[in-house]
Structure 1
Amino acid sequence: MQHTSNDSGRRTMNRPLLCIIGVVALCPILLAPLCGGGGEPYATLDFTGTSMPDAGGTGTLTATPNGGTEIQVSLHDIPEGDHAWHVHEGSCMNQGGIAIDLSSLVGDLHAGADGTVETTVTIDEAIGTDGFYFNIHEFSTNDGVGPGITCADVVPVME
């Protein structure tokens, strides 16, 4: 470390080194809003019925500090039982292939006798906000998934 003497005879650290230390210390604070991980959702999900018009609900996506995603989902009017769920490429109107098989990562969703699903799961994968949607299927993974019953585009939160 380079030191210099000032007029009073005290030794001080080199100013450029102090600037570098300051910038490095501030990086996590300054970058958290841009990269997520700050605990605030970066995207929302508005589920609407597809093959079952009354099925629907809401959800949020929140970045985790390790680059993954916390997924919170609240659904209603879902048939009792287990349901496969996936993140797909595209949109609910222009559907594409599976991007992330959530059932294989965290298990199928389970709807109670009252037709509701309340779950929060964390996955290691990041989910983008441009060109992805969630699809909840009629059946479990083991029963052949069936058609989608409710769908939600990933919509970025606008600040």
Structure 2
Amino acid sequence: MPTAMSVRPHPLDIRTPRVPENLAYSLILPAALASPAVARSAARTILEAHGLHDVTDAATQVIGELAACACLFTPSDSVYLSLRYRDDALRICLYDGHPRHTHRRLAAACDGRRRSLLLLLACVMHACDGEWGFGESSEPGDGTRLWAVLPREGARAYGCAA
């Protein structure tokens, strides 16, 4: 007697279409000169795999700027990159091992130096109507968390303007 059999693709099967809402990736990168380029390349592949090719230009610029800053500041040998897509926006976080200074003037000087390194990032985020910042992090480990929230509509417009 023949039996009926149904075959469904595994949820992680590469033939299964990926949608932006599934985007959740974390990478550990060495604190090296090449890491911003590696982060941009990985992000480009990830975004296109999830159908977000319209935000790639803005996102790779933002990721490269954050990664460069994190690699310059971290005293450790690596930085941690997190990419998530929620509420129609790409959420980018980079964690470095640079702890916040306890002395007020040192903290202000360090923050000023970070801001000056992130001027291009500030311009891109302004053009995309996004938000960004940095501050103390309690995860993963101590250090500084640099973050950006890139709205899809603003990133799409940024890509069209470029």
Q: Same fold (TM over 0.5)?
A: no
Q: TM-score, normalised by structure 2?
A: 0.33
Q: TM-score, normalised by structure 1?
A: 0.34
The structure richer in strand per residue is: 1
Return the index of the structure with the highest Cα Rg: 1
The structure richer in helix per residue is: 2
